[in-house]
Copies of this chain bind each other. A is one copy, B any other.
Amino acid sequence: MINTLYLPEIREMLASDDEQGLNEFCTALHAARTAEFMEGLSSAEAWQVLLATDATTRVDVFTYLPEQQQVDILESADPQEASDLIANMPHDDRVDLLKEVEDVSVDSILPLLPTEERRDIQRLSQHPEGTAGAVMTSDMARLPETLTVREALEEVARQSADHETIYYIYIVDEENHLRGLVSARQLVTNLGRPNKLISDLMERDLLTVTDTDDQETVASKVAEYDFLAIPVVDSEQHLVGIITHDDVIDVLREEAEEDAYLAGAVEPLDETYMETPWYTLAWKRGVWLTVLFVAAMLTAAALKGYEDTLAKVTWLVLFIPLVISSGGNSGTQSTTLVIRGLTNKDLVPGDWLKVVRREIITGLCLGSFLAMLGFFVVRIVQSELTTQQALVVPITLLSVVICGTIVGSLLPLLFRRLGLDEALMSSPFLTGIIDIAGIVIYMSVAIFMLEELGGGVGAG
């Protein structure tokens, strides 16, 4: 859904080299909206538009362009112009972007950057994907603790253009150890006392994260405390960066997106559904479909063991899918609940006994209800059965649901204990175990209950 509203005008201005008109277009709207209107342009056209405006607006609009367009621009632009742009970009965004640009172009851009910027890029790009270090930015406002309110405000105003946020100002000692935090709000509120030292204002008890912390942990900390940003320190308490509210929102969206795909048994997509080529889609689905297929294959092997039983009492076949799916559904529910509990830190693997106790009670309750429903279904579908015969299905349903809840709740706890990602591993294993268990339970109950299979309990 590309917005083509202004495309003809922009192209006309490009053709007539109307720099003033282009600059007006770039500065009239919020950068994000300007970028939206430029999505229909080729990378070369978009870059030509951006060159018509000042460096600040150029970076602003550029960072809102779709990633592929950004990559294309950097790969085709003049290296000097590209490096000027990179020098002005937010420190975290440019590191992510340069990872996508082909090496040849990066090699021609990097040497043209000021040494300090180049070092910063190298430092930031060392952090492994998914850690606080990989999400943080290094362009925060940083001041010594010896300043007064007036000096601090002047210094912040002076540095303002270089920083992603000036609303939290970090106070460091001479060796860059984090000492405290002053908010722009505190400075503004103390405008009337310009000679007050910021060390008297600053908050000293700061919550920090370490650069090696998991990005999910960081996101939930910021979310819990309603911070605008959280400082990142290294193992020696040096201030190395900050993670801002918008990065936290990105992390939360990314993680939610990933979970949603995995819950649907699809490897997370990097692009949108429509932009992903069909063979990538087929691959991202095929992996999981095959794993689940192999798990389901075992049901054929399990049923094979009961071929004679099924040949003798053919009506048993009718309820196989019902029995299997009931176990699977109740198991999936338990897995979902326990995974949410683990994610929200409400549960730890050590709680397994408490969890099992809860699940058995819930399973008994749900299983009894489904068993009742199941009894009526059997009565309707296969009305000529005796009560004892018809009871095979409800007894199986109750057992399968309890089995599903126990296995479904223990599997994620086990995977978490083994250090595996429970969200990823639990589902195929659960399917495999529950499907087979469902068949074995069903057939065992049938053999035990039915006279014609050599079993038969009660009055027979």
Contact = CB atoms under 8 A, between A and B. Distances in A.
Interface of A: 1, 28-30, 32-33, 153-154, 156-157, 160-161, 166-167, 184-185, 187-192, 203, 205-207, 222-226, 228, 245-246, 248-250, 252-253, 255-257, 259-261, 263-266, 269, 272-275, 278-279, 281-282, 285-286, 288-290, 292-293, 296-297, 299-301, 303-304, 307, 310-311, 314-315, 317-322, 324-326, 329-330, 332-333, 335-341, 344-348, 351, 354, 358, 361-362, 365-366, 369-370, 373-374, 377, 381-382, 431, 435, 439
Contact of A188 (B184, B299, B362): B184
A273 to B, nearest CB: 4
- Give the most central of A260, A264, A297, A319: most B CB within 10 Å: A264
The complex is assembled from copies of this chain, and their number is 2
B296 A336 contact: no
B1 A345 contact: yes
A47 to B, nearest CB: 22
A319 to B, nearest CB: 6
Contacts of A286: 365-366, 369
Contacts of A264: 263, 332-333, 335-337
Nearest to A326: B293
B188 A157 contact: yes
B322 A320 contact: no
Given A160-B188, A272-B344, A303-B321, 9 more contacts: A160-B185, A166-B185, A223-B250, A273-B337, A278-B365, A281-B362, A282-B362, A286-B369, A299-B321
B340 A257 contact: yes
A256 B252 contact: yes
Nearest to A427: B264
- Give the most central of A296, A304, A351: most B CB within 10 Å: A296
